[in-house]
Homo-oligomer: A and B are copies of this chain.
Amino acid sequence: METAGSRIAALYAGDLGFAQIDKLRAERTGYPEVVYCAGKTIEQALNIITKMREDGAPVFATRANEELAEKLAVRFRETEYDALGRTLSIGEFCPEEKRTGLVVIATAGTSDLCAATEAARTAEFFGSRIKLIADIGVAGIHRLFSRLEDIRAARVVVACAGMEGALAGVLAGLVAVPVIALPTSVGYGASFGGVSALLGMLTSCAPGISVVNIDNGFCAGYQANLINQAGKIGE
C-alpha cells in the first residue's frame, strides 16, 4: 500500500523540514490550509506563510500576534490583520462580492467578542456574509428577542458565550437552522476557563446544536461556512 499511497501523497505536501504544507488540501476539501500560529515561532510562521503566498495561495492565519502581522505587511502589501480576532489574511479566497448566505454570530456579552470576531473573520474569508450581534445573553432575554428577526435571516447561527453558555440552547429553540455553539473562557471560579459553558452547550435540551472547542472561533466560523455552503456541494 505504501507504494501507491506514498507516490500520490508525495504530490500533496510542501516539506519545510519543520512543517509540511498541505498544498492539495483545497483539492481534497475545497478549502486551502490555514496557518495556526500559536506554538510556532515568528520565524516558523513567517517561513510557512511566505512559502504559501509565493506559491500563489491566499493565506489565512489564526492566533497571529501583531509582530507577525507587521513583518508580513512589509513583505505583502495585501496583508490584513484583525487585532481583536487575532486573524490575518493575505489575498482573497473568496472576494466580498461573491460571498453568499448569511452567518449570524451572536454573543452573550461584550467579553465574548474575541472569539466571535475570530469566527466572523474566518467565515468571511471562506465565502460567507456575516453579521455579528453582541451582548444579547439570556440574563436580559428581551435583548435577544429584539434581534430575533435579524437572527432568523441566517442560514447558520454561531452562539458565542462563556459562563453558563445558555445562549446556544435558547437560540436553538427559536430558529430553524443549525446552531454552532462556541463556548468561551469568559468567567471565573466555577466557569473553569470555559468548561461550564462547554458542558452547558453539549447538554442543552434544545436540538440543533453542535459544539466546538473553548475559544475556538476559527473552528466555529469554518464549520458555519461549510454548513452555509452545504447546499452547493456533493450533489
Chain A residues engaging chain B, CB cutoff 8 angstroms: 1-2, 4-10, 12-13, 17-20, 22, 24-25, 28-31, 33-34, 36, 38-40, 44, 101-102, 108-111, 113, 134-149, 152-156, 163-166, 169-170, 172-178, 180-181, 183, 185-216, 218-220, 222-223, 226-228, 230-235
Contacts and interface: CB of A to CB of B under 8 A. Distances in A.
A93 to B, nearest CB: 13
A173 B194 CA distance: 22
Contact of A180 (B113, B210, B220): B210
A164 B145 CA distance: 21
Contact of A101 (B8, B154, B183, B235): B235
A68 to B, nearest CB: 14
Contacts of A163: 203-205
A200 B110 CA distance: 19
Contact of A146 (B12, B155, B232): B12
A103 to B, nearest CB: 10
Contacts of A233: 155, 176-177
Given A13-B142, A226-B178, A202 B206 contact: no
Contacts of A187: 203
A9 B44 contact: no
